[in-house]
Amino acid sequence: MSTTYNEAATAAPTNSTARVATASIVGTAIEFYDFYIYATAAALVIGPVFFPQSSGTAQMLASFLTFGIAFIARPLGSALFGHFGDRIGRKSTLVASLLLMGVCTTLIGLLPGYDSIGAWAPILLCVLRFGQGLGLGGEWGGAALLATENAPKGKRAWFGMFPQLGPSIGFLAANGLFLILAMNLNDEQFRSWGWRIPFILSAALVMVGLYARLKLHETPVFANAVSKQAPVKVPLVELFSQHWLPVLLGAASMVVCYALFYITTAFSLSYGVSTLGYSRETFLGLLCFAVLFMGLATPLAALASDRFGRKPVLIVGAILAILSGFTMEPLLTHGSTWAVALFLALELFLMGVTFAPMGALLPELFPTRVRYTGASAAYNLGGIVGASAAPFFATKLVAMGGLSYVGGYVSAAALLSLIAVLCLKETRNNDLNRVV
């Protein structure tokens, strides 16, 4: 073990800004591409392929339940990968999380449907979906630490923005590919084999991500920490015994990001196609347009976060998100495409505003020895509340009281995050080299 510490202590921090940015963006873009293609498939085709004996509504609910399984797995993934990330380093753990996610995604694309293997089809789908969640549970925290622990003074939010851009790129790639398929295949072809193409292509994308990450060196902050003291034996135990409050507040702060994104994408896509009467390709095109606003908001919010602090940006974003919930019903039921586009763009812009500062804030909440575990746990526990059942509950809520109820869900999630952010101390000046 002492050999490991000596090597870490003498390792030169040679990661360039370009290398850090590339590895952070490419990795999270691929990870979120994998995750989003499932969200899109869940809204369009998973139900009929894997739950064909149910009614249309039951198929959709079952499909969204399999979507939620990954969010249950993500906290477990954060504990698993966080353990090794805090003990052996960020680089190796990031490579492993990417590989697990990619393998599970590719296998989903090759999995036979219910008509071929019966009940084994949904069972195996749930297993692979769980594996996706484990992989993503370790991905974001490692990518955020890779960025922030290599950042120069005063630019942590800007560097932490690199992994936050990955979701926009991954989502655009995922929806863009589904849009191309929708434009070139009929419904029978898409349901039979077309939907599998994005999943199978993930294998090639993962190879690109692995190449980028294998060329990295360990972060200087982690190398410095292990040169001073041995890594904690069980990071999860120390985290929840000494840092449980930042975990809970960080998780609650993330809820608005998840609610905005998955209500706007997975639920709205399903509702737009099944109820509003839009074609698959039209609504996917609207989402591709809207996600550009998320990509625009991300660097703007990061710059503001470095200049004014994490809390002011998050407070403004949460207040605007609360108000945005009231726009859902009037804009989606307006009857015009521009109103739908405006709603999607508004929500995803606010997603970028509330999401960008998290790349710096969550790592800043924890000392180096438990930072991977802590940042990952906060990020993924927030997903259970904000995203795991969001499309499922939204489908139930719209049946109970219409879109205004779903808008209320978004506002409530934003209010919860606002309260959590108000309870947090400003983290902009926290020292990432602290080990306790």
* For residue 204, pLDDT beyond 50: yes
Band (401; pLDDT cuts 50, 70, 90): confident
**What letter would DSSP give residue 313?**
H
Q: Which two tokens stand for residue 426?
A: 């400003």
pLDDT value, residue 157: 93
Per-residue pLDDT, averaged over 202-225, amounts to 83
pLDDT value, residue 423: 96
Q: What is the mean pLDDT of the chain?
A: 86
pLDDT value, residue 374: 93
Fold of 16-221+231-421: Growth Hormone; Chain: A; (1.20.1250)
Can you tell me which residue has the tokens 């940006």?
A: 313
* For residue 11, pLDDT beyond 70: no
Compute the Cα dihedral for 345, 349, 352, 355 and give only its sign. negative
pLDDT value, residue 364: 95
Per-residue pLDDT, averaged over 333-351, amounts to 93
Q: How far is CA 215 from CA 205, 339, 405, in A?
A: 16, 46, 48
Q: For 188, what's the count of Cα atoms within 13 Å in the CB-facing half-sphere? A: 0
Per-residue pLDDT, averaged over 416-425, amounts to 96
Per-residue pLDDT, averaged over 330-346, amounts to 92
pLDDT value, residue 222: 85
* For residue 4, pLDDT beyond 50: no
Distance in angstroms (rounded) separating the CA atoms of residues 136 and 101:
7
Distance in angstroms (rounded) separating the CA atoms of residues 6 and 14:
17
pLDDT value, residue 388: 63
Tell me the pLDDT tens digit for each residue of 75-119. Answer: 888 889 999 889 888 888 888 888 898 899 999 999 998 888 888
Can you tell me which residue has the tokens 């998100």?
A: 321
Can you tell me which residue has the tokens 């590719």?
A: 106
* For residue 2, pLDDT beyond 50: no
pLDDT value, residue 5: 38
Mind giving me the DSSP string for 1-51?
-HHHHHHHHH------HHHHHHHHHHHHHHHHHHHHHHHHHHHHTHHHHH-
Per-residue pLDDT, averaged over 297-318, amounts to 96
Q: Which two tokens stand for residue 423?
A: 């309870």
Beta-sheet strands, E only, within 288-393: none
pLDDT value, residue 312: 96
Say which residue, 187 or 354, is predicted with more confidence: 354
pLDDT value, residue 425: 93
Three-class secondary structure of residue 89 per DSSP: coil
Say which residue, 42 or 134, is predicted with more confidence: 134
Tell me the pLDDT tens digit for each residue of 379-393. Answer: 988 887 776 667 777
Tell me the pLDDT tens digit for each residue of 251-301. Answer: 999 999 989 988 888 788 888 888 888 888 888 889 989 999 999 999 999
Q: In 337-351, which positions are buried (b, 16+ CB within 10 angstroms) versus exposed (e)?
A: eeebbbbbbbbbbbb
Per-residue pLDDT, averaged over 150-171, amounts to 89
Per-residue pLDDT, averaged over 189-202, amounts to 89
Q: Which pairs count as long-range contacts for 108-113, CB under 8 Å and 24+ apart, including other chains?
A: 108/38, 108/132, 108/199, 109/196, 109/197, 109/198, 109/199, 109/200, 109/202, 110/196, 110/199, 110/200, 113/49, 113/50, 113/52
Q: How far is CA 355 from CA 128, 159, 220, 335, in A?
A: 27, 14, 25, 30
Distance in angstroms (rounded) separating the CA atoms of residues 34 and 98:
10
Query: Smallest Cα–Cα separation from 302: which of 292, 293, 313, 294?
Result: 313
Per-residue pLDDT, averaged over 153-170, amounts to 90
> Other CB atoms closer than 10 Å to residue 280's CB: what's the count?
22
The structure's pTM equals 0.83
Band (227; pLDDT cuts 50, 70, 90): confident
Q: Which two tokens stand for residue 366?
A: 């924890």
Tell me the pLDDT tens digit for each residue of 60-78. Answer: 677 777 877 887 888 888 8
Alpha helices in 46-155 (DSSP H): 46-50, 56-87, 90-110, 114-117, 120-148
* For residue 9, pLDDT beyond 50: no
Distance in angstroms (rounded) separating the CA atoms of residues 172 and 183:
16
Q: Which one-letter amino acid corresponds to residue 389?
A: A
